[in-house]
Amino acid sequence: MSIKVGIPRSLFYYQMYPLWQTFFEELGAEVVVSENTSKKILDDGVRICVDEACLPVKLFHGHVISLKDRVDYLFIPRMTSISKGEYICPKVGGLPDMIRSSIKGLPEIIDVEINLRKSGSSELESALDIGSYVCKDGRRIKRAYIKALDKFNEYKADVERGFIPGDDINRKRNIYVVKNSELLNIAIIGHPYNLYDSYVNMNLISKLRGDGINIITHEMVSEEIINSYADKLNKKVFWNFGRKALGSVRHFVERNDIKGIIFVVSFGCGIDAFIGDLAERIVRRNSSIPFMFISLDEHSGEAGLDTRLEAFTDMIRWRSKNESNFSAHG
Ligand code: SF4
């Protein structure tokens, strides 16, 4: 019987799942993912997690609860840094400790630090450590890692081409290539776990698409473009998400086909509060593109979101017909 490795459908799942799934499966493990987010998963997470945590971290707790009794290992890497010179949010780095202290009856956690800022540390070393939980053959782990990287690069290329990961991350029918000049382009910036979890964001993306909007996320902008714009910022941003968000915002304000920008933030997220404010200033100072924040928390109501989206898209449509009479800033 194969070893079961549980992966919570939360946080970095939306960025890394194709890499993690291929890696563990190549090592002969069975990968079990928690179900799509539901009211029960969210309620369980909110009940057990510390009040001060942000929504995504609370939700992660709920996904762990839904998985823990069905697997031999839980994969919760200690993600400190996944890119040279940059950090991930400390709440993600401390997740294995938070989970251990909040939830009882856990299986063993695959708790390996991924810290590319540490001297001498590499992705391959982390992969060898992670793989050693389910396989003792170092060469096989290396081969699995190389295969997983290929899958991961394919996935990233799909996302750049317009694939919205959504609930089924392996499904490619979702690729949405814009050909219709009637559609309005709206850029959406936010953590992938907020943008692609349709329960948490109350179907934000499908609502906008249903209204004839073409969605361009910051993940659809290539690393080269993001970096070229991030390099022009007054100061280097040392958060991985911050660089991507601000680099893409600068890029969006210079494109002439973006009609609106939405920044999705998690209530209680310090990084979002800081980066969101900088993003808004970049947009306001350098363009007249309408800009809106959508803040998500466990109390967010769908009717309020619908009203705001409708008002935002109506205003953009009116502006495109009668540009000079409508303010971008309300
Ligand atoms: S970056 Fe923000 S939303 Fe994400 S885990 Fe950290 S505090 Fe939560």
Q: Strand 108-110 vs strand 213-217: parallel, antiparallel, or unpaired?
A: unpaired
Using the mean position of ligand 1's atoms as its centre, give its distance from the Cα of residue 264 in Å.
12
**Residue 147, SS3 per DSSP:** helix
54 CB near ligand 1 (under 6 Å): yes
- The amino acid at residue 137 is D
pLDDT digits (tens, 9 = 90+) for 226-239: 999 988 888 888 88
Residues of the chain with CATH 3.40.50.11900: 184-325
- 247 to 15, 241, 250, 269: CA distances (angstroms): 18, 10, 5, 20
Ligand 1: which of 78, 200, 271 to mutate, judged by most atoms within 8 Å of the beta carbon? 271
What number does CATH give the domain 184-325? 3.40.50.11900
Using the mean position of ligand 1's atoms as its centre, give its distance from the Cα of residue 181 in Å.
36
* Distance, CA of 310 to chain centre: 24
151: tokens are 């899958």
254: tokens are 């210079």
Q: What is the pLDDT of residue 6?
A: 97
Region 53-74: mean pLDDT is 96
> Among 44-58, 106-120, 261-275, where is mean pLDDT lowest?
106-120
15 CB near ligand 1 (under 6 Å): no
Q: Strand 78-81 vs strand 113-115: parallel, antiparallel, or unpaired?
A: parallel
- The amino acid at residue 29 is A
Q: Cα angle at 322 between 180 and 182, to 5 degrees? A: 5
Number of H helices, E strands in the chain: 13, 10
Using the mean position of ligand 1's atoms as its centre, give its distance from the Cα of residue 329 in Å.
27
Using the mean position of ligand 1's atoms as its centre, give its distance from the Cα of residue 62 in Å.
16
The answer to whether 263 and 276 are in contact (CB under 8 A) is yes
H-assigned helices in the chain: 13-26, 39-48, 55-67, 90-93, 95-102, 123-131, 138-160, 192-195, 204-210, 223-230, 240-254, 270-286, 302-321
245 CB near ligand 1 (under 6 Å): no
91 CB near ligand 1 (under 6 Å): yes
Q: How confident is the model at residue 298 (pLDDT cuts 50, 70, 90)?
A: confident
pLDDT digits (tens, 9 = 90+) for 193-245: 999 999 999 999 999 988 889 999 999 999 999 999 988 888 888 888 999 99
44 CB near ligand 1 (under 6 Å): no
> Among 32-41, 49-58, 169-178, where is mean pLDDT lowest?
169-178
Residue 120 pLDDT > 80: no
Q: How confident is the model at residue 176 (pLDDT cuts 50, 70, 90)?
A: low
Using the mean position of ligand 1's atoms as its centre, give its distance from the Cα of residue 174 in Å.
27
Using the mean position of ligand 1's atoms as its centre, give its distance from the Cα of residue 54 in Å.
6
Query: Whole-angstrom Cα distance, residue 113 to residue 101?
Result: 18
What number does CATH give the domain 4-160? 3.40.50
